[in-house]
Amino acid sequence: MDWTSFRSLFPVTRSWAFFDHAAVAPLPRPAVEAIREWADDSAANGVATESRWLARVEEVRRAFGALLGCDALDVAFVKNTSEGVCFVAEGLDWREGDNVVTAEEEYPANVYPWMNLAARGVELRRVPSRQGRIELADLGDAMDARTRLVSLSFVEYASGFRNDLAAVAELCRRRGALFFVDAIQGLGALPLDVQALGIDFLAADGHKWLLGPEGAGVFYARRDRVELLHPISVGWHSVVGAWDFGTIDFRLKPHAGRWESGTFNMAGIVGLGASLELLQQAGVAAVGERILEFTDRLCERAPRAGWAVYSSRRGDERSGIVSLLPPEGRSPRDAARWLRGQGVVVNHRAGRLRVSPHAYNTADEIDRLVQLLGEMP
């Protein structure tokens, strides 16, 4: 891959060394151009060219099917990860006494929807991590005969710990529980095959590692799990004969499309599609290898500047997120603010500095970040 050419597609590089893709990524030029093309066409032609853009939606859907290793019809477009979580949380036929198991340090989007089930007698069990790592045995100990579902992130947002999805899925299979994955902190940057892994449901917004605009993401439902969920937010587009407006025939689509209740966020989807195509042209595996090279480099050098590495760096537990512990007397919040004044964008979470580079970054930028960490006043 010609990473110099890849980098040239990111206007953000003209002003910033940007290491905050775990928050909101800057748009690459192809996404901007795709959104502009749709907007210009919409202004010039209105609905007259609608079929062109509906066909584009299906192209993007097929691209996501390829990314996730599933049939394109098993992918629905959503406005954010939380919407996908809620499809599952509100859709399952919960019984009083059921429980959901998740990690104690999950992002709130993967906590509040499960907490909201308390009124229906559903318990949320949150498993503490051990020095930033979520142990499979601890998840197993939290499960029992009434565990209906385990819900975990692909990559934990604050620590950067990458869960062993295959092992968790196997644990769920043995225990008779469903497995939901919040994939927002890894999808696009690290390979993920839902069928090979045995994932039942997945959701991810596109504005982080997928390099898309905010407000456009995907929801995956395994085909033989679709009928387990009572569909919420049903609309005209949820049914088999969606475009036959004059006929009321309440037959829901037999796949994830039933959760697409109405009109698409066309600008978001075409922008997200352009970013996904860019990543697929580079190769998601190659993108992931490059990101891990950067995070390995950072973890090797940061201690020299007095910042200890909190994130697990054991083999496949590594991710694009590095969580750094500050030297005594230093504030990660203040460090992030000071670095921004130096043209470097990072963030802070859980009392630690969070650094999340992407494939268009460079080793020189990583080295400059480390140098600045050592020079902080």
Q: What is the pLDDT of residues 83-115, one digit of tens each?
A: 999 999 999 999 999 999 999 999 999 999 999
Give backbone dihedrals phi and psi of 365, rounded to 5 degrees, phi first: -65, -40
On whether the CB atoms of residues 211 and 357 are closer than 8 A, the answer is: no
d(CA 268, CA 300): 38
**Helix, strand, or coil (residue 323):** strand
pLDDT at 367: 98
Helix (H) or strand (E) holding 354, with range, is strand 352-355
Count the Cβ atoms, other than its own, within 10 Å of residue 311. 28
d(CA 345, CA 218): 27
pLDDT at 152: 98
On whether the CB atoms of residues 355 and 298 are closer than 8 A, the answer is: yes
Count the Cβ atoms, other than its own, within 10 Å of residue 376. 16
pLDDT at 1: 86
pLDDT band of residue 353 (cuts 50, 70, 90) is very high
pLDDT band of residue 10 (cuts 50, 70, 90) is very high
d(CA 331, CA 341): 16
Q: What amino acid occupies position 288?
A: G
Is pLDDT of 137 > 90? yes
Segment 346-369 shows an average pLDDT of: 98
What domains are there in the chain, each with its CATH number? 3-19+283-375 (3.90.1150.10), 34-280 (3.40.640.10)
Question: Is the CA virtual torsion 312, 341, 294, 210 positive or negative?
Answer: positive
**What is the per-residue pLDDT across 203-243, written as a single tens digit (0 to 9) for each?**
999 999 999 999 999 999 999 999 999 999 999 999 999 99
pLDDT at 219: 98
CA dihedral 84, 85, 88, 89 (to 10 degrees): -150
Which regions of 26-183 does DSSP assign to beta strands (E)? 75-78, 99-103, 123-127, 147-153, 178-182
pLDDT above 90 coverage of the chain, percent: 99
Question: Is the CA virtual torsion 154, 125, 174, 312 positive or negative?
Answer: positive
